[in-house]
Amino acid sequence: MLVSDFSFELPDELIARYPMPQRDDSRLLVLERQQHTLTEARFKQITDWLQPDDLLVVNDTRVIPARLFGNKETGGRVELFLVEPQPDACWRCLLRASKACKLGQMIILSQGVTARVVDRLGEQDWLIRFHGTDDFDGWLQQIGQMPIPPYLNRPSEELDRERYQTVYAAESGAVAAPTAGLHFTPQLLDRIKQKGVQLAAVTLHVGLGTFQPVRVERVQDHIIHRERYSIPPETAAAVAATKQRGGRVIAVGTTACRTLEYAADAAGQVHAGKGEADIFIYPGYGFKVVDALITNFHLPESTLLMLVSAFAGQKFVLDAYRRAVQEKYRFYSYGDAMLIV
């Protein structure tokens, strides 16, 4: 299976650089797998496809303002992108600078905080130790910028602090948003609950693995990075109860989907607990837990598009993407949504 099999043409003007004024005003393309039909709607109408026995599983990770800017002692500008916390006040970071950083180099940040380069983990991947604050999280909330995707081709703005975050975000740690959840409002969630649909949460801290470009020719040769996850006992119990009564488990986003599938045994029982997930789902995978999927429109040749193709069929999904392009749907993180039932 070739990575190029997951390519499609996308005009640049269809990349959504800003969110809709109202979260649930985004468009919704509904794919029905058995009938192979496509239905166009608005996201606020998603309740029309939900049933009282369903369980909606969301990813409640919270995006941290992971992008920092500072200067070397010599004055050169440095951009730090926090990836994952490490012991002893350290973070795994990506660094960008006009000239390569060196081991031991100090980076001067705001409010008396400094960062020292401790070790090199990869080409742009470094271990950084921070000094100068006893409340790093509080300092980061003040100084850091939201890590909106580079394809938005604009700097982070104040609106991104709210809109690049789901309304149910709770557990800090992600460096990218679980974007399928961005369409929900508190009012829509209330309507969903009133219909008898249950809600449950998992946490998967979205890291670089989710969006890492695929640089191999064959899909099977790609290795996905590990991402931290947590599944509470009540969520595992809710999944089991839903299956027992014949309801559907609906994953809100590819991250919730991967978390559930990773934590399930061969019989489809989801086990509570914490760990690191590195599951790579592409066509040929047999889903054990997830019965329906809410997702956004993803980049060509991405692991996310491969997962969606595994769930609904590669040809059907690519046909749906071509329809979305023709009908001028908005793509990527701040774009429109898809429901696969």
CATH number at residue 282: 3.40.1780.10
Judgement on whether residues 48 and 74 belong to the same structural domain of the protein: no
- End position of a domain, from candidates 111, 144, 177: 144
Judgement on whether residues 188 and 40 belong to the same structural domain of the protein: yes
* pLDDT score at 207: 83
Q: What are residue 65's phi and psi, to 5 degrees?
A: -75, 80
* pLDDT score at 116: 96
Q: Is residue 156 part of a domain?
A: no
* pLDDT score at 211: 62
Give the percent of the chain with pLDDT over 90.
Answer: 91
Which residues fall within 8 angstroms of residue 88, CB to CB, at 6 or more apart? 129
Q: Is residue 151 part of a domain?
A: no
Judgement on whether residues 271 and 293 belong to the same structural domain of the protein: yes
Q: Is residue 154 part of a domain?
A: no
Judgement on whether residues 83 and 95 belong to the same structural domain of the protein: yes
* pLDDT score at 99: 84
pLDDT tens-digit map of 302-334: 999 999 999 999 999 999 999 999 999 999 999
Token digits of residue 204? 């998967």
Average pLDDT, the chain: 95
What mean pLDDT comes out for the span 46-53?
Answer: 97
pLDDT tens-digit map of 245-299: 999 999 999 999 999 999 999 999 999 999 999 999 999 999 999 999 999 999 9
* pLDDT score at 237: 98
Judgement on whether residues 211 and 310 belong to the same structural domain of the protein: yes
pLDDT tens-digit map of 90-120: 999 999 888 888 899 999 999 999 999 999 9
Judgement on whether residues 129 and 106 belong to the same structural domain of the protein: yes
CB 119 within 8 A of CB 92: no
- End position of a domain, from candidates 109, 144, 179: 144
Judgement on whether residues 118 and 190 belong to the same structural domain of the protein: no
pLDDT at 210 over 80: no
pLDDT band at 162 (very low <50, low <70, confident <90, very high): very high
Count of C-beta atoms within a 10 Å radius of residue 225:
15
Q: Is residue 149 part of a domain?
A: no
Q: Is residue 48 part of a domain?
A: yes
* pLDDT score at 231: 98
* pLDDT score at 209: 63
Q: Is residue 221 part of a domain?
A: yes
User: Which residue segment(s) compose the domain that 84 sits in?
Assistant: 67-144
> What's the whole-model pTM score?
0.95
Judgement on whether residues 58 and 94 belong to the same structural domain of the protein: no
- End position of a domain, from candidates 115, 144, 173: 144
CB 247 within 8 A of CB 34: no
What does the CA dihedral 4, 333, 277, 292 come to, rounded to 10 degrees? Answer: -90
Place of tokens 């709607």: 41
Strands 292-296 and 249-252: parallel
Judgement on whether residues 115 and 252 belong to the same structural domain of the protein: no
Q: Which residues are paired to 293 by β-bridges?
A: 251, 340
pLDDT at 130 over 80: yes
Judgement on whether residues 133 and 169 belong to the same structural domain of the protein: no
Judgement on whether residues 55 and 86 belong to the same structural domain of the protein: no
Judgement on whether residues 119 and 251 belong to the same structural domain of the protein: no
What does the CA dihedral 257, 261, 264, 265 come to, rounded to 10 degrees? Answer: 160
- How many independent structural domains does the chain possess? 2
CATH number at residue 121: 2.40.10.240
What mean pLDDT comes out for the span 172-200?
Answer: 97
What mean pLDDT comes out for the span 198-202?
Answer: 98
pLDDT band at 30 (very low <50, low <70, confident <90, very high): very high
Q: Is residue 36 part of a domain?
A: yes
Q: Is residue 152 part of a domain?
A: no
- Helix (H), strand (E) at residue 338: strand 337-340
